[in-house]
Structure 1
Amino acid sequence: MDLTQPTPENVSYMITEIKEKLRMVNVDAMKAENFSTSKYEDLHYIYKMVMKRETITPNEMQAIVAELGSLRG
């Protein structure tokens, strides 16, 4: 998958992958349709950071979720 292009499909893919990696319980809070391609670069950065990590601490998870929350809308 070519994630260099800011498409709605890529946004959806990255949000799904982040939710699975973080094992998020409240997945409804992170619906892909709540994210715009206008903040694609920020989302792509978070995606790459999350995917390369083996483990994520609870504090890191909280910070990632907060950052994703700021990208919604």
Structure 2
Amino acid sequence: MNLSEKSIENVEYMIEEIKQKLKVLNLGAIKPSHFDGEMYEELKEIYELVMKKDSFSPNEMQALVEELGNLRANK
């Protein structure tokens, strides 16, 4: 998968991978449809950070989820 290209499929892939890695309990809280191409680079940065780490402290998880919330498209 070429994540350097902005696409809906890439957004969906990154969100699903982030959710799995963080073991997000409320899966409905983070949906690919909440994000648009405007914040693609920021989402990719979060994705890359999450994929590099093996585990996260509760504070790190909260900060990541908050940052994802900040990136959500206003719909």
Instruction: Give the TM-score taking structure 2 as reference length.
Output: 0.96
What's the offset of the Cα at 1:43?
Answer: 0.1
CA distance in 1, matches of 2:62, 2:51: 16
Partner of 1:59: 59
CA distance in 2, matches of 1:3, 1:56: 23
Q: Would you say how many aligned residue pairs link Structure 1 and Structure 2?
A: 73
Aligned-residue identity in percent? 51
What's the offset of the Cα at 1:3?
Answer: 0.3
Matches within 5 A, 1:20-59: 20-59=20-59
What's the offset of the Cα at 1:50?
Answer: 0.2
CA distance in 2, matches of 1:17, 1:35: 15
CA distance in 1, matches of 2:46, 2:58: 16
RMSD between superposed Cα atoms in Å: 0.4
1:59 partner amino acid:
N
5+ residue gaps, structure 2, are none
